[in-house]
Structure 1
Amino acid sequence: MSWILPIGAILSEVAATLALRMASQPGARKAWFAAVGVGYLTAFTFLALTLAHGMTIGVAYGIWAASGVALTAIAARLLFGEPLNRVMTAGIVLIIGGVLMIELGAAH
């Protein structure tokens, strides 16, 4: 259960951010803005529940933010054809390494 909540926070935040991209398109439906609000509200709810279940704020926020950045960049490439070059890919790899280091550091 301890990883279900932060994963829910990450996926909700990524979905909200991608909906924000859709909402910013000319002629976009207003429903996209509702999806943005629901997505971020859901993400913060999951994040709060993660903290309530005992994960420290540094670990929870670090994993949430870093994973969100990496997944959003990958999803934006796949869904919207946004650039994802070698330097950006290296950054994603570093983010993954940083998240692992945060988690391993928290275990000690």
Structure 2
Amino acid sequence: MALAWIVLVLSGMLESGWALSLKASEGLTRLWPSVSFVVLLVLSMVGLSYALKTLPVGVAYGVWVGIGASLTAVLAVVLFGEAVSVLKVISLVLIVAGVVGLNLSGGGH
């Protein structure tokens, strides 16, 4: 079960990678960011699929999306210069709290 959680977290991080690659691809018009998007998307889905063999779908999907969304938002600020606001920071904290809550809920333990 621990391996499923590790794979799930890594897959959530890969979700962020494919989202950022999609942005960098400028609508899939740039070759290497587009290739990166496809590779990271497939790896992220394979990892999520592996984790779902062991973990409940509600918890696993919520954690996967939460990690991907939070990391993507933070990296978008750093890499693409997106604006930061108090509301954005509070919202990210709430997403992380939700991910932690899902993990602690006992689903899959």
Regarding TM over 0.5, the answer is yes
Question: Once the 2 structures are TM-superposed, how far is the Cα of residue 2 of structure 1 from its aligned partner?
Answer: 2.8
Q: Per chain length, whose mean CA-contact separation is higher, i.e. which structure has more relative contact order (CA < 8 Å, sep 6+)?
A: 2
Q: Any conservation in 2 of the 1:73–1:84 contact (CA below 8 Å)?
A: no
Q: What is the Cα-based RMSD across aligned positions, in Å? A: 1.6
Corresponding residue for residue 8 of structure 1: 10
CA deviation string 1:4-30 (max 9, x = no partner) = 2112211111111111111017xx631
Q: Any conservation in 1 of the 2:14–2:40 contact (CA below 8 Å)?
A: yes
Distance 1:65 1:82 in 2: 20
Correspondence 1:41 to 2:42: yes
Question: Once the 2 structures are TM-superposed, how far is the Cα of residue 106 of structure 1 from its aligned partner?
Answer: 2.5
Q: Any conservation in 2 of the 1:66–1:95 contact (CA below 8 Å)?
A: yes
Normalised by the size of structure 1, how large is the TM-score? Answer: 0.89
Residue segments in structure 1 that go unaligned for 5+ positions in a row: none
Q: What's the secondary structure of 1:106's corresponding residue?
A: coil
Aligned length: 105
Runs (4 or more) in structure 1 with deviation over 3 Å come to none
Identity %: 30
Q: Any conservation in 2 of the 1:19–1:32 contact (CA below 8 Å)?
A: yes
Corresponding residue for residue 100 of structure 1: 100
Residue segments in structure 2 that go unaligned for 5+ positions in a row: none
Distance 2:7 2:49 in 1: 9
Normalised by the size of structure 2, how large is the TM-score? Answer: 0.88
